Chain A
């Protein structure tokens, strides 16, 4: 057998394998690719403001409502900055909460307490505690940077008639409250339709479903209604969003300790 023939054989074999190499994307790579694409589609919104109504319900059926305004500033290359201003209940009116969210480091958090007229920095590595006593942890509603998780594509599935990718993601943050989350990502729009959370012992904890998606600026999808159900305690929380505004001209200086006091 001459050397030329051998070379040709190898070359042919290599070319023959090429399509397989393209398809031989691992489940991890595919999961990451989906997350990257979803992130890309939400890129460039600049800033946004919205009103949120939070309704808490316990197993007994008692409910309680809070009203919050949220301003967000997109930060390229890191977690977003956000400010939450509480309007109701009356006794926390004017309380404002500023967060610089980070992917794998503790978030930076400040709270302005009008009753004390002081800004307090919360020095805590915890991101998984309940947000205002709800079933949402702060890490559930904070911006979802790609680096916050590692990913794995599981399968395709139709959810309520919507074609979805089902991907699993694993928190990169050491103090996260979860071992993993399973998300149903709309194939067409790359937006989450449902996320299932598994606690530290990897048992089913919560399910978050998104409803009433609206598109803003012909690009950004936001859900009107997010419903979180805790399967272990029987409690649930509904977030209803309204008055979304984008590119309102918010700047970095609107997200610092001084702006907190003025927030109202």
Chain B
């Protein structure tokens, strides 16, 4: 069958090549449709409960993506006429940032004061050039004593200040984020030049959104050339011939182009996780070609011509390659169970690429390689070394079985040392400006983690109820006493200030109004006096049934966020059970994502494991060996997580997809080893020891080489500046290494041991 098919391919090889190129060009055209996703919400599925809660919050109040200008005067004085003039200047222009709806700074802060029976509402800084030293220190004292501003827009030491720009993206076009960011960066450049005394940095959610495509492009620029160089060197080393190298190189490029082209046609958006798909496809595709070409070379060495050699190679390798492709595809498809859509895309693109690599390996590759010249070369080196290693394993199989089992058991026992934990700012490493600037902001001015808390009553206008205000204030005070909390923005502070203003600015009246009507009327008065964009709509819902309390936190890990969330909701439950309190925001969403992803990937991995085992049972035509193969398929991931637990100990959302994904890859080693073992038992009638020897001899070197290639490929991924990709690459490398070790040192002794007590029919 396969022989006949291969002969047909070779007979029509020019047509096959033409058709392949045409197909690749047609599908590859779709890659033009690819665009970068720039919204952190991409990490959340449409029915993610935290996302839904967040959207509800945003629909009730206002959306709150932001760009925060962190401004550091080099002379260390925010409150100087020059710096204030600059802040005012930048504040004014910040209203021009595309999609901005609100700008808050120390200069446009709506300061309220009493003047006889007047309520004076004005910008805190009106005309900086006219300010005397006395004015400056008065303004400074107002700013750093105003709970709305201190540690949010001004550092307590008055050395750092912020201008917060609220950005409301319509979400209709992909260029919204880059447009806003480009304007903000333009401003940064312009004002750094205009005011050399200022150091300006940009942080905030919109900047983070923009960092995603930038990290993706960064990966594309830095890792792809590395990966391409890597295959060329690998192929030259392994195939020792230009023909094989060119053929394989083209085949791999075609596979990647096909995968990315299909992604384009399917409308998949590029995100940092997706950017690792080409590297994965490239790495996986090498194996198919290497198996085919190494056998072909071997046959030529034995005296066959290149056509016959290819036919023989196809006969031997077709089914193993088919099965390993199938299992790899299943493994990648298990990523569809992930809770984070970018991993679906990654899995699907990699699966399509691996499938394409198989198709091109059995069409384009035999067609082209039989056109190009082939020289008989030396046998692939190392074969005898592998044979010796095999003999060593067979000789010491009992002790090896014990040692290997003990080592694996110890490693598996280390798995619980892993803690499910993520710090989402650290998704970007320190080469990315966003990360550096966020760390700087967190260190000097304010936090970059936000939780928005909606505190609601069931009563229309209920927020003016003194009881509600008292509760809200208690809650705010409680929050402010928490060590993680940097800033709490709450309407209760405004109420206190207005009450004071209404009593001739008497500090004794800096307290909540004690009567409902009074509170409601203060609010009305205050609302009437606010300027465009600085209204209370972001703090109060339309029915005045709830207020939004905005909490700024230190940089925390997901576990710490979850613990904080738990602690405050318990406190609320205990102290004010009648109020509805819900905390949301990207911080909370990302914190929950890890756990949700682990749970969903547990299902995905189980399904993949079941399907892959079925494939193996059918392929081995043996339930027994299908089940035995579970061990070398599952243990590598478990052992790798054990090593991870020993050396790293933190598992985030990216690593939770590794088990499912690598399952399909590590199976390949098992498939090759077991199929050779079984062939020796069945066709050659060898006993277990001899069959193990045969398997080592025939595929040992190939397994070693492909594993080295895979590890190298994934180690390139590990160089990503995007932590999710880097972690995924590193852990996958460890899994593959463990898989090889187990296939060489645990599986063979086990096979021999199982048949110690007499021959078993296979």
Query: In the bound complex, do residue A89 and residue B527 qualify as a contact, i.e. CB atoms below 8 Å apart?
Result: no
Query: In the bound complex, do residue A129 and residue B530 qualify as a contact, i.e. CB atoms below 8 Å apart?
Result: yes
For the complex of A and B, list the 10 residue pairs with the smallest distance between their C-beta atoms, beginning with the closest.
Answer: A177-B532, A128-B532, A91-B520, A60-B59, A126-B531, A115-B518, A59-B59, A129-B530, A64-B543, A115-B517
The answer to whether B406 has its CB under 8 Å from any CB of chain A is no
List residues of B (519-543) whose CB comes within 8 Å of A's CBs: 519-522, 524-525, 527-537, 540-543
Query: In the bound complex, do residue B524 and residue A92 qualify as a contact, i.e. CB atoms below 8 Å apart?
Result: yes
Q: How far is the CA of A111 from the CA of B60 in the complex (A)?
A: 28
Contacts A120-B525, A138-B528, A232-B101; is A56 near B542 (CB within 8 Å)? yes
The answer to whether A124 has its CB under 8 Å from any CB of chain B is yes
Query: In the bound complex, do residue A58 and residue B60 qualify as a contact, i.e. CB atoms below 8 Å apart?
Result: yes
The answer to whether B241 has its CB under 8 Å from any CB of chain A is no
One of B119-127, B377-385, B682-690 at the interface: B119-127
The answer to whether B95 has its CB under 8 Å from any CB of chain A is yes
Q: Taking the nearest CB of chain A, how far is it from the CB of B518, in angstroms?
A: 4
Q: Taking the nearest CB of chain B, how far is it from the CB of A200, in angstroms?
A: 5
Q: How far is the CA of A168 from the CA of B119 in the complex (A)?
A: 35
Q: Taking the nearest CB of chain A, how far is it from the CB of B66, in angstroms?
A: 15
Residues of A within 8 A of B (CB): 56-64, 86, 89-93, 95, 97, 109, 111, 113-116, 118-126, 128-133, 137-138, 175-177, 199-201, 203, 232-235
Contacts A56-B542, A120-B119, A203-B98; is A177 near B59 (CB within 8 Å)? no
Query: In the bound complex, do residue A120 and residue B59 qualify as a contact, i.e. CB atoms below 8 Å apart?
Result: no
The answer to whether B100 has its CB under 8 Å from any CB of chain A is yes
Residues of A within 8 A of B470 (CB): none
Query: In the bound complex, do residue A64 and residue B460 qualify as a contact, i.e. CB atoms below 8 Å apart?
Result: yes
Query: In the bound complex, do residue B528 and residue A113 qualify as a contact, i.e. CB atoms below 8 Å apart?
Result: no
The answer to whether B147 has its CB under 8 Å from any CB of chain A is no
How many residues of B are in contact with the other chain, CB < 8 A?
52
Q: How far is the CA of A68 from the CA of B666 in the complex (A)?
A: 73
Q: How far is the CA of A132 from the CA of B544 in the complex (A)?
A: 11
Residues of B within 8 A of A93 (CB): 517
The answer to whether B515 has its CB under 8 Å from any CB of chain A is yes
Q: Taking the nearest CB of chain A, how far is it from the CB of B730, in angstroms?
A: 43
Query: In the bound complex, do residue B543 and residue A91 qualify as a contact, i.e. CB atoms below 8 Å apart?
Result: no
Which of B119, B515, B522 counts the most A-chain CB atoms under 10 A from its CB? Answer: B119
The answer to whether B461 has its CB under 8 Å from any CB of chain A is yes
Q: How far is the CA of A126 from the CA of B520 in the complex (A)?
A: 21
Query: In the bound complex, do residue B542 and residue A57 qualify as a contact, i.e. CB atoms below 8 Å apart?
Result: yes
Q: How far is the CA of A59 from the CA of B591 in the complex (A)?
A: 26
Q: How far is the CA of A51 from the CA of B453 in the complex (A)?
A: 37
Residues of A within 8 A of B168 (CB): 232-233
The answer to whether B118 has its CB under 8 Å from any CB of chain A is yes
Query: In the bound complex, do residue A64 and residue B542 qualify as a contact, i.e. CB atoms below 8 Å apart?
Result: yes
Query: In the bound complex, do residue A58 and residue B531 qualify as a contact, i.e. CB atoms below 8 Å apart?
Result: no
Residues of B within 8 A of A61 (CB): 59
Query: In the bound complex, do residue A116 and residue B544 qualify as a contact, i.e. CB atoms below 8 Å apart?
Result: no
Residues 77-111 of chain B: 1 if any A CB is under 8 Å from the residue's CB, otherwise 0?
Answer: 00000000000000000011111110000000000
Query: In the bound complex, do residue B542 and residue A62 qualify as a contact, i.e. CB atoms below 8 Å apart?
Result: yes
Residues of A within 8 A of B120 (CB): 123-124
Query: In the bound complex, do residue A234 and residue B59 qualify as a contact, i.e. CB atoms below 8 Å apart?
Result: yes
Chain A residue with the shortest CB-CB distance to B519: A91
Contacts beyond the supplied A59-B59, A137-B532: 18 A-B pairs with Cβ under 8 Å: A58-B59, A59-B58, A92-B517, A109-B528, A111-B524, A111-B528, A113-B522, A123-B118, A124-B121, A126-B121, A128-B532, A129-B535, A130-B537, A132-B527, A200-B96, A200-B533, A201-B98, A234-B59
The answer to whether B115 has its CB under 8 Å from any CB of chain A is yes
The answer to whether B309 has its CB under 8 Å from any CB of chain A is no
Residues of A within 8 A of B99 (CB): 203
Residues of B within 8 A of A129 (CB): 527-532, 534-535
Contacts A95-B524, A116-B502, A200-B96; is A63 near B121 (CB within 8 Å)? no
Query: In the bound complex, do residue A201 and residue B517 qualify as a contact, i.e. CB atoms below 8 Å apart?
Result: no
The answer to whether B398 has its CB under 8 Å from any CB of chain A is no
Chain B residue with the shortest CB-CB distance to A86: B524
The answer to whether B516 has its CB under 8 Å from any CB of chain A is yes
Residues 129-172 of chain B: 1 if any A CB is under 8 Å from the residue's CB, otherwise 0?
Answer: 00000000000000000000000000000000000000010100
Q: How far is the CA of A91 from the CA of B530 in the complex (A)?
A: 21
Query: In the bound complex, do residue B530 and residue A126 qualify as a contact, i.e. CB atoms below 8 Å apart?
Result: yes
The answer to whether B421 has its CB under 8 Å from any CB of chain A is no
